[in-house]
Amino acid sequence: MFHKLLIANRGEIAVRIERACAEMGIRSVAVYTDPDRFALHVKRADEAYFIGDAPLAGYLDARRLVDLACETGCDAIHPGYGFLAESADFAALCAEAGIAFIGPDAKVIARMTDKVRSRRLMQDAGIPVTPGTLTELSSLDEALVQAEDIGYPVMLKAVAGGGGRGIRRCESAEQLGKIWEWVVAEAGSHFGSEAVFLEKCIVDAQHIEVQVLADRHGGVIHLFERDCSIQRHNRKLLEIAPCPRLTPEQRAYVGMLAMRAAQVVGYENAGTVEFLVRGNEIYFMEMNTRIQVEHTVTEAVTGVDIVCEQIRIAAGHKLSFRQEDIRHHGYALQFRINAEDPRNDFLPSFGRITRYYAPGGPGVRTDTAIYTGYQIPPYFGVLCLKLIVWGMTWEETLNRGIRALNDMRLQGIKTNAALFEAILRHPDFRSGNFDTGFVASRPELLNYSAKRNPEEVALAIAAAIAAHAGL
């Protein structure tokens, strides 16, 4: 097993990896830029090293991170998600330096992060892919011709895209013409490539993804599926495991497809294969070659520690489980509690957290790097914490989610917590009647009341009295 592991990331995922290292007896090494001097992942690590004043540059400097790992005696690097997690160049640099990269081989990353290439690979393997182009588009004129053949609505996507960026829905040729330059520019600025392609927009579909694990000894398993249909502008808000609407036959089928996808590309480590499902139609979308933000719900229903398993696989061990060992029990939900104001077009709400109290009780987990007094920097995104709840039944899980959201105290900034409570109380969601258009098609969800409990009112009154008295 590894002796020392450098975490090439920050925030809650860095803390999550540090916890796994602590359980496995591995020393953890954190890195941080100037805005993260007082971050929790820096405080919790066994060692921490400064990588620059600029907020983002240090986290994106692959060469510097590999050199630092060598200098500090690390024998492995975990990239987390985001930043360099799906960088084939980063994985290759690790291999050249003799440091284990906690993820797949650089060639596999390059193959699967190219969405056009991965679509061709899957189609050749007999895995159904979403109708669309199998090559990069050379011009708007070509896009217009292809869109007519595919049939509107279509999705214009960045070939190297991810995280909801570099993607727009087009209802007509006129709209495609208007957004072409914008998507190409965003693809170039965020992913370093202006290449784009077209995909049929599958309306009223569910976004289903399957967690896979594979080792270098030929072992491949899946940990069942997650439903990621609750989204806004193609960015996930709430994730569920397992999907409450899949039949046992569909569940077995998507699991088989995901394992086949991993085997076709010679995959190793943890990965996620994403599908669109509408009725009995199931289409491959893409494969994410890293740990997912929402891995927590899979851990909750299967009992498998995915991060520890990642580390074991990278160290050369065989999978700890066979497929027949994996069972799912109950349901789990993950809420991405973001620093944003849903009723003000989800405007970010960066600032100082004046009070944070994590919910607890049966079936409740929080993954976070915030604390009372923490200043949320405006450079890294809006995620504050991931609140995960588990229950034996769907109804129990929903009710536990409402209770946990009400238990949580996060003051000093605005969050989307009340929106989640509105979603959980909505009759369509409770009956399992939801798809990727759920949030957009129900504007009434934003009519939630900005209620304040008696404790918060008392605190506000006490603060006002103290200010007036000059205390």
**Mean pLDDT score of the chain:** 94
Residue among 308, 316, 266 nearest 291 (CA): 308
Q: What tens digit of pLDDT does each residue of 383-421 get?
A: 999 999 999 999 999 999 999 999 999 999 999 999 999
Contacts of 9 (CB under 8 A, 6+ apart): 17, 41, 59, 78, 79, 80, 81, 82, 83, 85
The per-residue pLDDT for 285 is: 93
Question: Which band of pLDDT confidence, cut at 50, 70 and 90, is reported for residue 467?
Answer: low
Mean pLDDT of 85-100: 98
* CA 385 to mean position of chain CA atoms: 12
C-alpha distances in angstroms, 137 versus 146, 154, 184, 197? 9, 14, 10, 6
Q: What is the pTM of this model?
A: 0.92
Mean pLDDT of 221-227: 98
The per-residue pLDDT for 452 is: 53
Tokens of 112: 């699967």
Is 465 a residue whose pLDDT tops 80?
no
Q: What tens digit of pLDDT does each residue of 345-384 get?
A: 999 999 999 999 999 999 999 999 999 999 999 999 999 9
Q: Give the Cα separation of 105 and 90 in Å (integer).
A: 10
Question: Which band of pLDDT confidence, cut at 50, 70 and 90, is reported for residue 290?
Answer: very high
User: Could you tell me how many residues make up the chain?
Assistant: 471
Architecture of 4-102 per CATH? 3-Layer(aba) Sandwich (3.40)
Residue among 89, 110, 118 nearest 101 (CA): 89
Question: Which band of pLDDT confidence, cut at 50, 70 and 90, is reported for residue 469?
Answer: low
What is the residue extent of each domain of the chain? 4-102, 131-200, 206-454
Say if CB 296 and CB 363 are below 8 A apart: no
Is 471 a residue whose pLDDT tops 80?
no
The per-residue pLDDT for 434 is: 95
Q: What tens digit of pLDDT does each residue of 148-167 get?
A: 999 999 999 999 887 778 89
Q: Give the Cα separation of 387 and 360 in Å (integer).
A: 10
Residues annotated catalytic, as ranges: 290
The percentage of residues in the chain with a pLDDT greater than 70, rounded to a whole number, is: 95
Q: Give the Cα separation of 371 and 42 in Å (integer).
A: 13
CATH match for 206-454 among 3.40.50.2020, 3.30.565.10, 3.30.470.20, 3.65.10.10: 3.30.470.20
CATH match for 131-200 among 1.20.1300.10, 3.30.1490.20, 2.40.50.110, 3.40.50.300: 3.30.1490.20
Q: Give the Cα separation of 310 and 298 in Å (integer).
A: 14
Question: Which band of pLDDT confidence, cut at 50, 70 and 90, is reported for residue 192?
Answer: confident
The per-residue pLDDT for 286 is: 93
Say if CB 420 and CB 232 are below 8 A apart: no
Is 443 a residue whose pLDDT tops 90?
yes
Whether 4-102 and 131-200 share one fold: the answer is no
Residue among 367, 169, 347, 199 nearest 274 (CA): 199
Is 456 a residue whose pLDDT tops 90?
no
Is 267 a residue whose pLDDT tops 70?
yes
Question: Which band of pLDDT confidence, cut at 50, 70 and 90, is reported for residue 453?
Answer: low
Say if CB 213 and CB 268 are below 8 A apart: no
Is 468 a residue whose pLDDT tops 70?
no
Q: What tens digit of pLDDT does each residue of 302-326 get?
A: 999 999 999 999 999 999 999 999 9
The per-residue pLDDT for 364 is: 98
Handedness of CA 410, 416, 422, 428 (dihedral sign): negative
The per-residue pLDDT for 451 is: 57
Cis peptide, bond prior to residue 128, ω within 30 of zero: no
Is 343 a residue whose pLDDT tops 80?
yes
The per-residue pLDDT for 165 is: 81
